[in-house]
Amino acid sequence: SIPLSFFAGIGGASKAGVLVKGSNYLETLSQAKIVVFDKTGTLTQGVFEVNAIHHNEMDKRKLVEYAALAESASSHPISKSLQKAYGMEIDRSRVTDIQELSGNGVIATVDGHQVAAGNDKLMNRLGVQSIPCHSVGTIIHMAVDGKYAGHIVISDIVKPHSKEAIQALKSAGVRKTVMLTGDAQKVADSVASALGLDEVYSELLPADKVEKVEEMIQIKSEKEKLTFVGDGINDAPVLRRADIGIAMGAMGSDAAIEAADVILMDDDPMQISKAIKISRKCLGIVY
Ligand code: ADP
Ligand code: MG
């Protein structure tokens, strides 16, 4: 039978901003030994600033305008940053045939021109040769009517408590911390080393993230539980696959909140070790 303390635990946890969808998840959470994070919006702020614009013949402003218009239907943090860089109201009647390719970017028709904005994978799909960029940052390559038009370099910063949060997990007995991201290797490696993460995997499509988590589940022992922490639309499948899925921030996407077992009201990564500690306390586990 389920001890009464389980229910008291769920109530207590919710007061701390940790919403647990069922008492069984408290037990799984208490055994978390591997914590896998999504990068954007989870360990980083998910607010990108435009650092540089490199263009071919196209005017710089026009490049940003086309990017913002093509991205106008996307809710990705990259899209929000490009909208902000453009700074003007979007006239949606100029944009048609919008396609968002998760982990790649977007393709849309803007003023009758085909505009693609995304990473190297997207350019490869379109058979467009991109010009290599050596800046550190997330590089948004652009193609207009199948021709390379330039790129916009954007960058995101780590959240103020991310490093402390990783250390707190270690102190709470978490054996391994991992980051999975669709972003470029250079960006991923610099975040991972700044935060002291044990492992990092980059340039992953949403399905690759699920596969990575599956691999990690297969090689660990049954009593060590793996938790995945994410907030994005693309994170739902991997949140479901983990032993325990944690969605961050009540601002997270509806799909992520629905797929998760635990929801953190706050987007402070310190909440993760706090949630683990609360679960142990409810179960009377002294760590
Ligand atoms: P993360 O794993 O960091 O959450 P995503 O899987 O959402 O990242 O995206 C991975 C990469 O795909 C981004 O770094 C970017 O290169 C590209 N990408 C995804 N969505 C967009 C978009 N709306 N516009 C441009 N590029 C995008
Ligand atoms: Mg994401």
Query: Residues spanned by CATH 3.40.1110.10 within the chain?
Result: 49-155
- Which residue in 38, 235, 243, 261 is the catalytic one? 38
DSSP 8-class letter at 147: E
Ligand 1 atom 20, closest CA: 105
Q: Which residue has the higher pLDDT, 249 or 259?
A: 259
CA distances from 221 to 32, 34, 99, 225 (A): 12, 11, 41, 8
- pTM value is 0.91
Strands 32-38, 176-180: parallel, antiparallel or unpaired by DSSP?
parallel
Distance CA 96, CA 63 (A): 17
- Residue in 36, 42, 63, 76 to alter for ligand 1 test, most ligand atoms within 8 A of Cβ: 76
Instruction: Look at residue 233 in the predicted model and tell me its pLDDT.
Output: 74
> Looking at residues 48-62, what average pLDDT do you find?
89
Query: pLDDT tens for residues 8-24?
Result: 677 778 888 899 998 88
pLDDT range class, residue 250, cuts 50, 70, 90:
low
What is the percent of the chain with per-residue pLDDT over 90, rounded to a whole number?
A: 77
Pick the CATH number of 49-155 from 1.20.1090.10, 3.90.1570.10, 3.40.1110.10, 3.40.50.1100: 3.40.1110.10
Distance CA 245, CA 29 (A): 9
Ligand 1 atom 13, closest CA: 183
Q: Please list the alpha-helical segments (H only) found in 108-244.
A: 120-126, 162-171, 185-195, 206-219, 236-241
| Catalytic annotation present for 120 | no
Say which residue the tokens 């693309």 belong to: 234
Distance CA 189, CA 154 (A): 16
Query: Residues spanned by CATH 3.40.50.1000 within the chain?
Result: 4-44+159-282
Least distant ligand from the CA of 73: 1
CATH class of 4-44+159-282: alpha beta
Q: Which residue has the higher pLDDT, 31 or 4?
A: 31
From the number of C-beta atoms within 10 Å of its C-beta (0-12, 13-18, 19+), residue 11 rates as exposed
Asked if the model's pLDDT at residue 6 lies above 70, the reply is no
Query: pLDDT tens for residues 106-149?
Result: 999 999 999 999 999 999 999 999 988 888 899 999 999 999 99
